[in-house]
Amino acid sequence: MSLAPRLDLRQTQSLVMTPQLQQAIKLLALSNLEVEAFIGEAVESNPLLEIGAPADDAPAEAVEEVRRTTLESSPVDQLIGEGRAEDDRPLDIDPATQERERDTGDLEFDGEGRISGGGEGPTIDERGAAGETLADHLHAQVGAAAADASEAFIARALIDQLDDAGYLAVPLQEVADGLGVPLAAAEGALRLIQSLDPTGVGARSLAECLALQAIEADRYDPCMQRLIDNLDLLARGEFARLRRLCQVDEEDFAGMLAELRGYDPKPGLRFSTGGGEAVVPDILLRRRPDGGWDIALNQATLPRLVVNRSYYVELKGACDDKAARGWLSDKLADANWLVKALDQRQKTILKVAAEIVRQQAGFFCHGVAHLRPLTLRTVAEAISLHESTVSRVTSNKYLHCDRGTFELKYFFTSGVASADGESAVSAEAVKAAIRSLIEAEEPKAILSDDALVDLLRARGFDVARRTVAKYREAIGLGSSVQRRRQKALAGVR
């Protein structure tokens, strides 16, 4: 075997994403406000781009020059710019590329095809965020704490109504009316929020905020309750009168005051305010008189980008050397591609939003009780896109309707097959049914997982025993043996 150096010729194939294709993918994940900032940077760097309506009096030679330059661009760039693939379908990022991204962890999906993290949106530094906001912190806890999907949905809507200090700034009845749910359901969701970390969030007054923290510290006895109910006396310094109302001696009263001073009157302020900016919807939904829906992008946050063709012809006439002409041709190709990529982005967002509205029409018409199980895969298959594309479109996008403003990902809930095999029910609804059955069981007739399966099937839920066990453990309920022991000890006490 020779050890001398030699040259070998090998032929290999690899999938390479052009910078333009990478940029097209990132544009899908950006919100309208982020796209507006992106357009501003593009206009500054490209003299052929401008914001506003295209000129109607553009010379014919300019139109022809732009058309010819576009056709002379590379085939791949032309397909990207037109938003189409080689089989003449709308551009939907190459499935092989998307699968590779999923494998490398850029996007993570659960078994239902729903996004659970990652993505190609801007980083924390790019967003300018100072850290985790109170809303982010609470949203992360709702999924595991809620009894069912309806309660989680209402709780998330209430979280978006909290102010920077963590207080509910709007009347609860107003939120319930906007969501189309009973006041009792909104009150239950508010109690859920008040059980989350940090203690005290979701309060409607300072007294309620301090009471929640006293309850958490196991110090909310009748004396502490009287102290918190009379904070106005404390503010005026009427300590003697306040001590008499609490019916405690001076030593206990001093301890109660020290305990009260240790509570946080504004628990939400320990988190970043995220700039204190209100959520700006990207998609606007309006009900038509005939019962249909009008869906449109929020043009107030999405300026129109056009190519200044007249300026291109003027610059080209003044270019004498080959390098300058080449630079100008590159800028024209970039400008054409960006305009078409933004147009394709708008069409894709509207296409996905329209399908979500169609799938969740019950919610928009009747309220959260009619929210259906929905996954990324269901939407993707209905509109012939890849679920990775749908996940990017629904990231950082908000939809405004008569019931309020909601993030698109709110409308995706997992589901399981129903007993009739013809429809699906929410997995959260199954958990709620398991909880209700276990709470209603008698101490002498503890339900096994097999018995729960039979009772659930009678209610229309077709679930396996291992699924029941998984859901039961997820909501913090022990096995039949553990529950029998716990209820036996409770009966002795």
Is the pLDDT at 340 greater than 50? The verdict is: yes
Give a yes or no: residue 60 inside a domain: no
SS3 424: strand
Domain boundary among 271, 302, 319: 271
Give a yes or no: residue 351 inside a domain: no
Average the pLDDT over each of 98-107, 125-134, 171-180, 340-349 and give the range with the smallest value: 98-107
Phi, psi torsion values for 16, nearest 5 degrees: -120, 130
What is the total count of domains within the chain?
2
pLDDT in tens, 111-162: 333 333 333 333 323 333 446 788 888 888 887 778 888 888 888 889 988 9
The range of the structural domain enclosing residue 421 comes to: 415-492
Residue 352 is predicted with a pLDDT of 92
pTM of the prediction? 0.51
pLDDT in tens, 408-461: 888 887 666 665 555 566 666 677 788 888 888 888 888 888 899 898 888 877
Give a yes or no: residue 449 inside a domain: yes
Residue 118 is predicted with a pLDDT of 33
Neighbour-count burial for 231-254, b at 16+ CB within 10 Å, e otherwise: bebeeeeeeeebbeebebeeeebe
Give the separation between CA 115 and CA 277, rounded to whole angstroms. 26
Residues 6+ apart with CB under 8 A from 454: none
Q: Are 456 and 468 in contact (CB under 8 A)?
A: yes
Give a yes or no: residue 87 inside a domain: no
Cα angle 114, 91, 88; round to 5: 130
Mean of the per-residue pLDDT values for the chain? 75
Q: Where are the beta strands (DSSP E) in 262-309?
A: 283-287, 293-297, 305-307
Give the separation between CA 39 and CA 444, rounded to whole angstroms. 68
CATH number at residue 448: 1.10.10
Q: Where are the beta strands (DSSP E) in 236-325?
A: 283-287, 293-297, 305-307
Give a yes or no: residue 390 inside a domain: no
Give a yes or no: residue 115 inside a domain: no
Q: Are 332 and 280 in contact (CB under 8 A)?
A: no
Give the separation between CA 112 and CA 101, rounded to whole angstroms. 18
Phi, psi torsion values for 296, nearest 5 degrees: -150, 155
pLDDT in tens, 366-399: 876 577 788 888 899 999 888 888 888 888 889 9
Give a yes or no: residue 201 inside a domain: yes
Domain boundary among 240, 271, 302: 271
The better pLDDT of the pair 362, 369 is held by 362
Average pLDDT value for residue range 473-486: 81
Is the pLDDT at 108 greater than 50? The verdict is: no
Average the pLDDT over each of 99-108, 162-171, 264-273 and give the range with the smallest value: 99-108
Domain boundary among 271, 296, 316: 271
Neighbours of 157 (CB within 10 A): 22
The better pLDDT of the pair 369, 265 is held by 265
Distances (CA, A) of 285 to 35, 293, 298, 431: 20, 7, 10, 32
Average the pLDDT over each of 37-41, 62-66, 287-291, 360-364 and give the range with the smallest value: 62-66
In the structure, what pLDDT confidence band is assigned to residue 1 with cuts at 50, 70 and 90? low
Give a yes or no: residue 206 inside a domain: yes
Give the separation between CA 65 and CA 176, rounded to whole angstroms. 58
Residue with tokens 């014919």: 60
In the structure, what pLDDT confidence band is assigned to residue 204 with cuts at 50, 70 and 90? very high
Neighbours of 303 (CB within 10 A): 16
